[in-house]
A and B are shown apart, each in its own frame.
Chain A
Amino acid sequence: MNDRATARRRRLAVALLVVGLIAGAAAVLLWTATRSALGGVPMSTAPVSAPTAAPVTPADSPDPVASPATPTPASLQDIAGNPVHVTVLQQGVPLIDADVNQIQLNGDGWLSPDEGLAGWYGPPQWETVPGDLSDYRGIIVGHNVTGYGTKDVFYDLGQVRAGDSVVLTYALQAGGYATAGFTVTQDARSVPKQDVVAQAATTYKWVWQSDAPERALSLFSCDLDAPHVDGHSVDNWIVTAVRVS
């Protein structure tokens, strides 16, 4: 009897030990994921797909023979279209390559993009199309990590350096696609989330506005290395760029 009972306790102890080790390992893994995301950065080649078979007719660079799948570089003028894809190139290598959708503030006034997509903060709440001449910058934001701790589309925004390239692809209102090129003006900067919005007209005006009408862009993400409060980083990565083509 004692042997049988002893054997049962041993098996139970072993089972509890295994469960404890697995649960502990899982807990550590999940905790670690909140500080260092897992997996690879999701990338998608622009444009994802042609929404229509309409010929490429950029508003400012009509080229009726261009293929829908081959965005045409737009002239350095306002573009009658919406951004649908963003690519950040570092020495010609894509660092970020994500589809873009248009977003607005949520009920709490937060600007929070959809997971797996970069979000263009556009009209009516922010009436500047990235690349158009404006006193305000075009705003595109993206998650660095998902809620499950995996890397998201802007995971590497903090790696962007001055001189890197940003290419935006637009779905033109007239049909087709066009692209605009930007050059990053300074290394990615980590700024406090609270201050970047609270001091948007003063200290951090450079994030949101230009000193003179300009074709400028700001990219936002979260700084994963910054302290977290309530599950969120307290800092944003900011990358600014100006249109060059």
Chain B
Amino acid sequence: MSSDNRGAGVLRKAAYAAGAMSLAVAGILITVPGASADDAAPCTPMAAYDEQVLVTPEVPATPGTPAVTHTAPVQRWSWNPHGEQDGPGDSTPVNDPDHWTANTEHYKDGEPLGVAYQAGTPGNGDWFYWTTEEVVDTPAVPGTPEIPAVYQTVHHDAVTCPVTVVTPPVVAPPVVAPAPEPETHTVPATVQTDGDQTAVLVLSGGLGLLAAGALTGAGLLVRSRRN
């Protein structure tokens, strides 16, 4: 029971550590800025064209080399004529195996290969035949033909760069508060602050004339009385 708890604790810590590591890696990935569109090369306008792209370069021809072999003895056969013939003639173990009996595989230098030969007393000796095989010392290397280069035609569309319209920054005119309406101040033609006394003056003059007339009349009356 105790060991189970310890194991669960270890697993929990491992899980926490893995989680923290994942968060750290994610933070780094988020922090590292990706290549932005601003990094792209500037656009260069170009006409459409076909490009021959080399796929496989040319392989020159190589001359082959023949195999280097030698004939090696395989099995010596003894002629067994069954009393019918004196010599094998054209018979070989290959085309007439019934008259040949395998003898030995140990080859002695000087023994002819691939031909029937008589050993021992000439005329009475046995006939033998070594079958052979071709042993390849160096395998033949076949020559290779020239392999021309392989090209692929890749079509490139015309590149039309978007017209970059340079729009000057709009400079907003400064907001100018409308000028306040100029106040009206009209200077009068005159400041007339005494009452118009024309009527008084006329009345005064009239009374004066009346007084003068009356006094004159009174004077005339007084003078006539004296006379």
Contacts and interface: CB of A to CB of B under 8 A. Distances in A.
Interface residues of A, number: 68
A193 B203 CA distance: 26
B221 A30 contact: no
A21 interface: yes
B218 A125 contact: no
B196 A14 contact: no
A17 B214 contact: yes
B195 A146 contact: yes
A23 interface: yes
B193 A222 contact: yes
Interface stretch (B68-76, B127-135, B168-176, B204-212): B204-212
Given A27-B204, A136-B185, A197-B187, A20 B215 contact: yes
Interface string B183-199: 11111111111111111
Given A6-B225, A13-B222, A125-B186, A148 B200 contact: yes
Contacts of A115: 195
Q: What does DSSP make chain B's interface, helix, strand, loop or mixed? A: helix
B185 A128 contact: yes
Q: Which of B193, B201, B204 has the most C-beta atoms of chain A within 10 angstroms of its own C-beta?
A: B193
B143 interface: no
A200 B188 CA distance: 10
A62 interface: no
A220 B190 CA distance: 11
B188 A136 contact: no
A224 interface: yes
Contacts of B211: 19-27
Interface string B147-182: 000000000000000000000000000000000000
How big is the B interface, by class? Answer: 35 or more
A94 B167 CA distance: 74
B195 A23 contact: no
Q: Which of A16, A31, A33, A220 has the most C-beta atoms of chain B within 10 angstroms of its own C-beta?
A: A16
Interface string B10-30: 000000000000000000000
A15 B73 CA distance: 203
Given A141-B193, A230-B198, A128 B187 contact: no
B200 A30 contact: yes
B194 A23 contact: no
A197 B190 contact: yes
A124 B203 CA distance: 38
A23 B211 CA distance: 5
Contact of B194 (A22, A121, A222): A222
Contact of B215 (A17, A31, A208): A17
Given A16-B218, A17-B215, A111 B191 contact: yes
B224 interface: yes
Interface stretch (A65-73, A81-89, A163-171, A231-239): A231-239
Contacts of A232: 192, 194, 196-197
B64 interface: no
B197 A231 contact: yes
Contacts of B222: 13
A124 B184 contact: yes
23 contacts: A10-B225, A13-B222, A16-B214, A16-B215, A16-B218, A22-B211, A23-B208, A23-B214, A27-B207, A30-B200, A34-B200, A34-B204, A109-B189, A111-B191, A124-B184, A127-B183, A134-B183, A147-B195, A193-B190, A193-B192, A197-B187, A228-B197, A231-B196
Instruction: Rank and list the top 7 A-B pairs by shortest CB-CB distance, nearest first.
Output: A20-B214, A24-B211, A147-B195, A109-B189, A23-B211, A20-B215, A13-B221
